[in-house]
Amino acid sequence: MTISDNTGISRRGLLGVFAATAVTAAPTMANAFGFLRGSGDIRRLRMYSGRTGETLDAVYWIEGEYIPEVLAEVDHFFRDWRVDHSHRIDTRTLDILAAAHNLLESDEPYMLLSGYRSPETNAMLRRQSSGVARNSRHMVGQAADVRLRSRSVSQVARAAVACNAGGVGRYSRSDFTHMDCGPVRTWGA
């Protein structure tokens, strides 16, 4: 179920709908959480897939609660489209993506280039490029490669680095930024 801001349903009303199945929010990382506070009592992802043409405009967190039904939709959206396999996407990665997007002050949705990758897809990509990690966080649902047409790779990466919450890779020649919820580190140019 995609939930958008123009549904006419209040946040409290939505929370009541999902209260029976909501899980306790996992703690988010230091700066990412602080940046998300400015977004109010919701966390939202706006994305489209450059591979499948699908779009996602979803409120996945309301007033301290992740929404399981929406997280399932996010998992499907982030799936490995090459083999049509889904994996649970780590909510910390979603929080980093949302916080960086808020810092960029852009209404443009992210273009998702790569979310979850099956081991088979990761191995195939490794054979084609030296820039693909053997034990990529993509294979465990902890990474996303994204692009914003209205912002440079450097601008997107700086916003992600400001979250101080995971790995950020700049891939300027390929025009995308990698974000993950692993150890804080940066690479690329």
Say whether pLDDT at 6 is over 60: no
Burial class (CB in 10 A: 0-12, 13-18, 19+), 8: exposed
* CA dist., res. 116 & res. 78, Å (int): 6
Q: What is the pLDDT of residue 33?
A: 52
Q: pLDDT-based confidence at 15, cuts 50/70/90?
A: very low
Residues 6+ apart with CB under 8 A from 18: 62, 65, 67, 68, 69
Helix (H, G, I), strand (E, B) or coil at 179: strand
Q: What is the pLDDT of residues 91-139, one digit of tens each?
A: 999 999 999 999 999 999 999 999 999 999 999 998 998 778 888 999 9
Q: What is the pLDDT of residue 25?
A: 33
Q: What is the pLDDT of residue 131?
A: 79
Q: Which domains does the chain have, with CATH numbers?
A: 5-188 (3.30.1380.10)
